[in-house]
A and B are shown apart, each in its own frame.
Chain A
Amino acid sequence: MQVVSPIREHLVTGGKTYHDVTEDISRQVEGPVTKEWKVVFTVALLVLAYGGYWVYQTWWYGLGNWGLNKTVGWAWDITNFVWWVGIGHAGTLISAILLLFRQKWRTSINRAAEAMTIFAVLCAGSFIFFHMGRPWLAYWALPLPNTFGSLWVNFNSPLVWDVFAISTYLSVSLLFWYIGLIPDLATIRDRASGIRKTIYGALAMGWTGGARAWARYEDVSLILAGLSTPLVLSVHTIVSFDFATSVIPGWHTTIFPPYFVAGAIFSGFAMVQNLMLITRVVYKLEDYITIEHIGLMNKVITLTGSIVGVAYITEFFIAAYSGVQYESYAFINRATGPLWWSYAAMMTCNVLSPQIFWFKKLRENIVVSFVIAVVVNIGMWFERFVIIVTSLHRDYLPSSWTYFTPRMGDIGDYLFTFGFFFVCFLLFAKFLPVINMAEVKAVLKSSSEKTDKK
């Protein structure tokens, strides 16, 4: 029994049938590699290669390639790490929390968002290795017996929590994404022939679509969603503990966990918005990723942007209200000190810019949505830069006060992750279905344009 809501906009337009869905989505997997794809892929590979050169520099010659100094010991590395982890929150959020809330509009965007999540978390993880200085000793972060070189890890440390949180998040996101892919891989298997059939057949693991399998599959998806929901919230909470459990003014704040989680959803949705707007045009998926989807994404962006704005103001208020002069100074220095421009960029991009989405016309405008999504991601990068660098660059001893200027090593390593991210995303978009066909088919009857005409 399907219920058709009279007030909801259609999630699939153009009167698609089940077969149309299969055709439209499988087309890009089955067709030849397009010229545009080759061009973009080459650019991404070049960026990756150039960034790779700087990663080599960083590892061979050490962290002296970065702009760090004795006062600012953490800058772009951790900024980029937190930025990528934040972006990596949208995918599992869309598939897990929106599944629990029974939001049908997630079906068209969840697959690409989950893929994006995995690649973003891998990018974040690479910064952990970059900033270690001696990455060949990275296994010291794992709880290995003392004979392996170090003592047991300190389980009281938020950095060890991070190791567990990020690796669990990556593993579970990968699992969730793959389980979602199985029925669609079977669709491609059944349409393919030759070597493609063997490869996609192995990937589809012998899925046949029997009723018993579907019932268990749905149960597995629901429980995974239930497990992933607190997991998503825990990951950025634990990332925020890296700062919140320290005693640095500007970091030692109890508001950090919810503030970081809201910021993560905010930047993640902005990145999904960017990628989906491009995919929709390139793959001609306007009937699946509709203006309705874009509008809904923008609403989430506005909501989370406003939550982040409230958090910024609360931080400021609490710093003043606490009466702790170090805390107050950290915040006054943030807004008016030598790095004021980064604070201004953060405030403008994150708090002010999404507010234009209160107007329906702008919310449903594709160009405006794209631009604001880029602006939000710039703003969220500055948020992490502000938190990390402005809290460090003027420490307790005025003689060691300094400024931070990035060097080519910082920029090159950041470019490396961009190259990596887009290479992965392009490969995904070419070889795997970018939209979850099975789930779109399942909502087709209740949410497509055709139903009304019947």
Chain B
Amino acid sequence: MAHKKYILGVFDDEDVVLHAVSDVREKGVNIHEVYSPFPIHGLDHALGYKRARMGVPAFLFGITGTSLAFLLTFWTLGWDWPMNIGGKNFIPFPTNIPIVFELTVLLASYGMAFTFFGMEKLSPVSKPIIFDERITDDKFVMAIEVSKNSVSEEDITGFLKSTGATEVNIKEI
């Protein structure tokens, strides 16, 4: 695999990096990604990402759970082996609600979580690209891929420094 060259702007403060993202993008620089030790509110917006919509998989898996639970309870006690329990209906809608609710929550949670793991390629065997080991401690790193930008390396370094980066490093991966 060909080596990719990244310019890394290291910041100390989340508000500085948030403003730096807007400034750098205004200069026409394409940012690869911004890494931080904790979520920074408004950063995804500043980077121009679409709003995260994890509610969609949650809803779809949830509705699957609801349907499966209804299918399970209705089919077993309604068709497969109808049992007379206290003279009640074979398909007693209200008493099935706890099961339906629990299975909805179970499938919605796990479905959404595994969709998230899949989208972010999170798995015990994944080999992450770690630009700087201090990202998970106290540094905020803006990574810019050189080959994807028409702006020269020196200019990018200058932009980063002027917006408050405490260090600018080059890393080839």
A residues contacting B by CB (< 8 A) are 1-2, 17-19, 22, 143, 146, 151-156, 158, 160-161, 164-165, 168, 171-172, 175-176, 179, 182-183, 186-187, 189-191, 202-203, 205-220, 223-224, 227-228, 230-231, 234, 238, 241, 437-439, 441-442, 445
Choose from A168, A211, A216, A223 the contact partner of B40 (Cβ within 8 Å).
A211
**Cα(A78)–Cα(B54), bound, Å:** 39
Chain B hits for A210, CB < 8 A: 33-35
Choose from A164, A186, A220 the contact partner of B116 (Cβ within 8 Å).
A220
In the complex, whether B113 has a CB less than 8 A from a CB of chain A is yes
Question: In which size bucket is the chain B interface?
Answer: 35 or more
- Mask of B6-39 contacts with A, CB within 8 angstroms, 1/0: 0000000011000000000000000001111111
- New A-B pairs, 9, CB < 8 Å, besides A218-B39, A438-B37: A161-B102, A172-B110, A183-B37, A190-B130, A205-B123, A206-B122, A206-B128, A224-B113, A438-B39
Question: Do the beta carbons of A211 and B43 come within 8 Å of each other?
Answer: yes
**Cα(A165)–Cα(B99), bound, Å:** 8
Question: Do the beta carbons of B76 and A143 come within 8 Å of each other?
Answer: yes
Chain A hits for B133, CB < 8 A: 190-191
**Cα(A205)–Cα(B123), bound, Å:** 4
Question: Do the beta carbons of B52 and A442 come within 8 Å of each other?
Answer: no
Choose from A152, A216, A438 the contact partner of B38 (Cβ within 8 Å).
A438
**Cα(A238)–Cα(B88), bound, Å:** 20
Report the nearest B residue to A152, measured CB to CB.
B76
How near does chain B come to A25, taking the closest CB pair, in angstroms? 11
Report the nearest A residue to B32, measured CB to CB.
A210
Question: Do the beta carbons of A212 and B33 come within 8 Å of each other?
Answer: yes
Question: Do the beta carbons of A155 and B55 come within 8 Å of each other?
Answer: no
Choose from B37, B73, B113, B134 the contact partner of A220 (Cβ within 8 Å).
B113
Question: Do the beta carbons of B44 and A18 come within 8 Å of each other?
Answer: no
Question: Do the beta carbons of A216 and B135 come within 8 Å of each other?
Answer: no
- Mask of B75-90 contacts with A, CB within 8 angstroms, 1/0: 0110011010110100
Chain B hits for A439, CB < 8 A: 38
Q: A209-B35, A216-B116, A218-B52 known; A231 and B105 CB under 8 Å? A: yes
Report the nearest A residue to B54, measured CB to CB.
A219
Question: Do the beta carbons of A156 and B85 come within 8 Å of each other?
Answer: yes
In the complex, whether B158 has a CB less than 8 A from a CB of chain A is no
In the complex, whether B168 has a CB less than 8 A from a CB of chain A is no
Question: Do the beta carbons of A156 and B38 come within 8 Å of each other?
Answer: no
Chain B hits for A19, CB < 8 A: 137-138
Question: Do the beta carbons of A227 and B108 come within 8 Å of each other?
Answer: yes
Question: Do the beta carbons of A168 and B106 come within 8 Å of each other?
Answer: yes
Question: Do the beta carbons of A208 and B123 come within 8 Å of each other?
Answer: no
Question: Do the beta carbons of A172 and B52 come within 8 Å of each other?
Answer: no
Choose from A214, A217, A238 the contact partner of B98 (Cβ within 8 Å).
A238
Choose from B105, B126, B136, B138 the contact partner of A230 (Cβ within 8 Å).
B105
Q: Can you show 29 pairs from A to B with CB atoms below 8 A apart?
A: A2-B15, A151-B83, A152-B76, A154-B83, A155-B73, A155-B77, A156-B92, A156-B95, A158-B98, A164-B99, A164-B102, A168-B105, A190-B137, A205-B123, A206-B122, A207-B122, A208-B35, A208-B130, A208-B135, A209-B35, A211-B43, A212-B33, A212-B52, A212-B120, A216-B120, A224-B112, A228-B109, A441-B37, A441-B138
